[in-house]
Structure 1
């Protein structure tokens, strides 16, 4: 996968829980699913850290339902990631390589795929601080799709009262990527053209 893209370690963010300080509420899984479904559009700043290389990069993420996402990386970083709602495309302009696969077969499927029932595949995990909500999503019948751990913070002004703060993906090769979000902006206009890969993406 280009530049270790969908890959940062537990040291970057403690998504995998230690014994909880407070018992998770049984309804938190349903609340997290509802919060994700209530997001129509989202733009936020992000940082990404790779466990394999220790590299950290930043950029802007744009999300639009259903299933559209764009990772616009900092200037000089040669990767672009775009989902048009059907497929996830990774463009690496440094090696002039493009990879594309259905969103449901990516570790990000839990976030992007509207057909992915997080209630069915998700499991509420204990929170180390008792304040955040941690959801582990895994399709055990398809381990090749990878695992995603999502971390939510309780925030009244966020859709559904929970704000997606970070996630960690582990792919079939056990490579991990951690993404942290900040400066969330909801409900902003996002054109569909933003989520399409242009033929001249190598020259962007």
Structure 2
């Protein structure tokens, strides 16, 4: 894989995977996570609780997404969610990328090169969003909470590695609804991923999360997952 292609893959994994957090998603809670949550004001704690409850109520979602980065990168496509464990980002041409979380692993597939990379799902940032129960008092530091003009912004980062970047979840309020997220990576590149006409609670075809039908070339031979 060329350096350019590798760089593209890292940007996409960061921007979407931090969908929701640049966390690395270790299953155990951070020792000081409850301490930092306890330091929030009562209003902030109420906002965090509302967001946590809302995210846990989401079972399925389908939407268009638009991804724009401060380095000039632009992409769009379709996103599908079926919790727990299933997520799919299908990029429109000319971006030759497909990402599928199938409950066990995350597949990054390059359609042009027919190359695939598989990662254990619990070792990826995606795990934060799609695990069975979302917890904002474990593995997460709440950096900032802003409520204004019918919008709630919640900025989060990994308290153990604060230099790894941050993500801001942006919701429309009353009722609460996830609309976009903004990510700042360790190099200072900002990426905004906006959901367009998201539909929640919709029936999602389980075949969208299957990876076994993809014929990929990896390591000099075909791999079936």
TM range (shorter): 0.7 to 0.9
Aligned to 1:59: 77
Aligned counterparts of 1:105 and 1:170: Cα–Cα separation in 2: 20
Alpha-carbon distance between aligned partners in 1 of 2:212 and 2:118, rounded to the nearest angstrom: 14
Rg comparison, structure with higher value: 2
Aligned to 2:11: 4
- Determine if contact 1:110/1:137 at 8 Å carries over to the other structure: no
User: Bigger relative contact order, structure 1 or 2, given CA contacts below 8 A and separation 6+?
Assistant: 1
Runs of 4+ in structure 1 deviating by more than 6 angstroms, as ranges, are none
2:167 paired residue number:
148
* Alpha-carbon displacement from aligned partner over 1:23-51 (angstroms, at most 9, x marks no partner): 96531111111111101111111101233
Matched, 1:86 2:104: yes
Moved more, 132-141 or 76-85: 132-141
Corresponding residue for 1:119?
Answer: 137
Tell me the TM-score normalised to structure 1 length. 0.73
Q: Give secondary structure in 1 for the equivalent of 2:146.
A: coil
Give the aligned partner of residue 33 of structure 2.
none
Q: TM-score, normalised by structure 2?
A: 0.67
How far 1:170 sits from its partner (Å)? 4.5
Q: Distance in 2 between matches of 1:194 and 1:175?
A: 31
Q: Shift of the alpha carbon at 1:192? A: 2.2
Listed as ranges, the matches of 1:34-113 within 5 Å are 34-52=53-71, 54-113=72-131
Q: How many residues are treated as equivalent by the alignment?
A: 183
* Structure 2 unpaired stretches of 5+: 1-5, 16-41, 218-225
Aligned counterparts of 1:51 and 1:6: Cα–Cα separation in 2:
16
Question: Which of 116, 120, 138 in structure 1 is aligned with 2:157?
Answer: 138
Structure in which a larger fraction of residues adopt helix: 2
Paired with 2:49 and 2:68, the residues of 1 have a C-alpha distance of: 29
